[in-house]
Structures are given as structure tokens and as C-alpha cells.
Amino acid sequence: MLSSRYRPWHVPIFLGKYAWLRLRRRPVLLNFEVTMRCNARCGFCDYWKTPAETKHTEVAEFGEIARRFSPMLVTFTGGEPTLRKDLEDVVASVRKSVRYTYVQLITHGAMLTLDRAQSLWHAGVDQFNISLDYLDERHDLARGIPGLSAKILDIVPRMRAAGIGGVRFNTVIKNDNLDQLIPIVERAAALGGGVNFSLYTDSKNGNRDFLLDNTQHANLERAIHGLLAYKKRKRGIITNSDYYLEQIPRYVRGEMTEPCQSGITTIHIDPQGRVRRCPDFPPDGPWQEYRGYKPIDCNACYYACRGEAQAPIRIVSRIRDVMA
Ligand code: SF4
Ligand code: SF4
């Protein structure tokens, strides 16, 4: 799904840009990790332990990086990007540097007031991706932010009413939220938004508490079947490809052996301007030295970004997703 800033005639332009980037072996998606600082307290990610002083080492040259790569998609991520007071300037500089790039912002949403959302939207954010793994207080507990799920469910309709056209939930599939997947999709649909799923793994900090285990295969298959059936009934709410969803049970059963394509169509730029192949690998050097990555024999995660990079292009199905 595209945000309300775009019209159906933009789709062929983006597809053309995608083909141009792939032919030149350039990344399609740049993830700008604008800060590693975070004020949540998630048990499955240690970014919130990043010292506050690192703020002084965070660069602002993301516009220049975007100009050099001219990606089709840019994601501002972290840490928690809204901790940066200059985020609007950084977004605007990227927006100014590249024509036809779709700009997303990943946030836990705790500091997202309507004013801030509007100023980021006007700076050039096309889509707000707000993390939401449960519709109730379990989300607050998991993120260590009291009242978080209620706040998110309050701000999203106000953002939509204010004309912000791209809002999506980012939902991590864990061992204790399989019952939440369809309710989150239905809530997103009711609010005029979407949902993107990604599978939980312990690759961030080794926390195995939320890993799906052998006893849950049947429940997982049922949940994934439910998501695929929902997609068939109603396109444009669940933004994952069918392929990614279909492969999740296979990964959980330990049957995935394909090398990981991270760093080929997507790269990450850390807050100091260094490039890395994925969020869980260390940086390799200044972004100017990026020369591409080769597939790697790593099976540590099955994040959506890995799965989508592996997905065969089922062009009809993806265009139907985007147009919807
Ligand atoms: S998962 Fe996101 S919200 Fe939680 S600590 Fe890490 S960066 Fe912060
Ligand atoms: S599987 Fe790929 S994306 Fe995941 S941690 Fe390994 S290299 Fe990174």
C-alpha cells in the first residue's frame, strides 16, 4: 500500500526505478539508523542501553547519502528516531535529495503527538510504521512503557483524521501473540492503516523467551493460514508478500537453508554514517566505501527484510498489494 500522497500512476514510476536500481546492482532500500538511543525497555533488544553521550556522534548527512544512492525506499529507524530533535531536517534533506523515493519512519510511538506527526509528514515522511505486538497492556509490558498500546490506538485515528495517509503497524510474530495477529489486522483495517509482520528471533540480544518452539508449529501454521486467507479476501492491509508469510513456518521448523541476501537490495547506515549489511551485523566502514555485499551463509533471523529480499518477484501479486 502507498500513502495518500501517491496516485496509481506513480506505481509504474516506482517499478521502473526498482528495475533501474536492480540492473545497476544498487540497493533499493536504505535504512537510516539515525540514532541507537531509545527510551523503551524491551527485553529482546539492547539499543536502549546505548549511552546518551553517543548523541554527539550522530551524523546529519543522510541527505547526501540518499543523493549518492538514489534509493526507491528510505526507512528512518533506530533506536528511536523521534528522539532526534533534528529529525524533520534530516527527513527534509533526504526528500530534497532524491526524486521518487518512498520515505518510512519506524517508531515505538510513545512520543508521537499529533503535532510531531504532522511536522514529520510535512517534512516528507510518507508512512509511519508504529510497532504494535499486542492490542492490550502486554505491549506496554514488553516495551517497558506504561499506557503505550492505548496511546498508539488513540493517536492513529487522529493522524488519519488530520490527513496523514500512511500509517502501518509493525508487528513481531512471537510465541505469545499468535492470538493477536488477526485482531491487529482488523484494527488496522478499521483505522485505515496496514500491518507488516516480521518473525521474532533471538538474534538481537540472545533472549529466547519469545521464540516459537516445536509445540507451537500447528498454531503457527493456523495463524499464518489465517493471514494469507485475509490477504486473499482483502488486499492492501497486510503488506508482506505472500511468499514471506508462507516461508515463516518453514524457518521455524529449521528447514531454511538458503543463504541470506542482506546487503544486496537493502543496506543499513548507522548513526555514525557507517554501512552494514543488516541490523544485526557490525558496521563495515564509512558509507562511501560501500561496494556491495555477497550472499552470506547466515540463518540467525527471518526478519521481513530478509524474507522479502529472498522472495521471487510475483509481479501480479505485488502490484495488487501496492495498488490496493
Ligand atoms: S526494539 Fe525498538 S523500541 Fe525496543 S529497545 Fe529496541 S529500538 Fe527501542
Ligand atoms: S540472517 Fe541475514 S539479516 Fe538475519 S542476522 Fe543473518 S545476515 Fe542479518
At which residue does the C-alpha cell 548507522 appear? 270
Ligand 2 pocket check for 188: Cβ under 6 Å: no
What residues are paired with 128 via a beta bridge? 105, 167
Residue 88 lies in a domain: yes
Instruction: Using the mean position of ligand 1's atoms as its centre, give its distance from the Cα of residue 131 in Å.
Output: 9
Residue 176 lies in a domain: yes
Kindly report the protein residue whose alpha carbon is nearest to atom 7 of ligand 2.
298
Distances in whole angstroms, Cα of residue 323 to Cα of each of 5, 20, 162, 230: 13, 21, 23, 17
CATH number for the domain spanning 112: value is: 3.20.20.70
Residue 2 lies in a domain: no
Rounded Cα distance, 47 and 216, in Å: 29
Q: Taking Cα atoms as reference points, which of 185, 172, 165, 176 lies closest to residue 131?
A: 172
Residue 260 lies in a domain: yes
SS3 71: coil
Instruction: Using the mean position of ligand 1's atoms as its centre, give its distance from the Cα of residue 78 in Å.
Output: 8
Residue 159 lies in a domain: yes
| Beta carbons of 15 and 315 less than 8 angstroms apart | no
Domain extent for 276: 10-323
Rounded Cα distance, 129 and 115, in Å: 17
Kindly report the protein residue whose alpha carbon is nearest to atom 7 of ligand 1.
79
Rounded Cα distance, 232 and 226, in Å: 10
Instruction: Using the mean position of ligand 2's atoms as its centre, give its distance from the Cα of residue 104 in Å.
Output: 21
Q: How many folded domains does the chain comprise?
A: 1
Residue 298 lies in a domain: yes
Instruction: Using the mean position of ligand 2's atoms as its centre, give its distance from the Cα of residue 199 in Å.
Output: 12
In tens digits, what is the pLDDT along the chain, a chain of 324 residues?
556 678 888 888 888 999 999 999 999 999 999 999 999 999 999 999 999 999 999 999 999 999 999 999 999 999 999 999 999 999 999 999 998 999 999 999 999 999 999 999 999 999 999 999 999 999 999 999 999 999 999 999 999 999 998 999 999 999 999 999 999 999 999 999 999 999 999 999 999 999 998 899 999 999 999 999 999 999 999 999 999 999 999 999 999 999 999 999 999 999 999 999 999 999 999 999 999 999 999 999 999 999 988 887 655 555 566 555
Work out which ligand 1 atom sits closest to the CA atom of 38.
8
Residue 47 lies in a domain: yes
Ligand 2 pocket check for 262: Cβ under 6 Å: yes
Instruction: Using the mean position of ligand 1's atoms as its centre, give its distance from the Cα of residue 40 in Å.
Output: 6
Q: Judge if pTM exceeds 0.85.
A: yes
| Beta carbons of 100 and 74 less than 8 angstroms apart | no
Ligand 2 pocket check for 202: Cβ under 6 Å: no
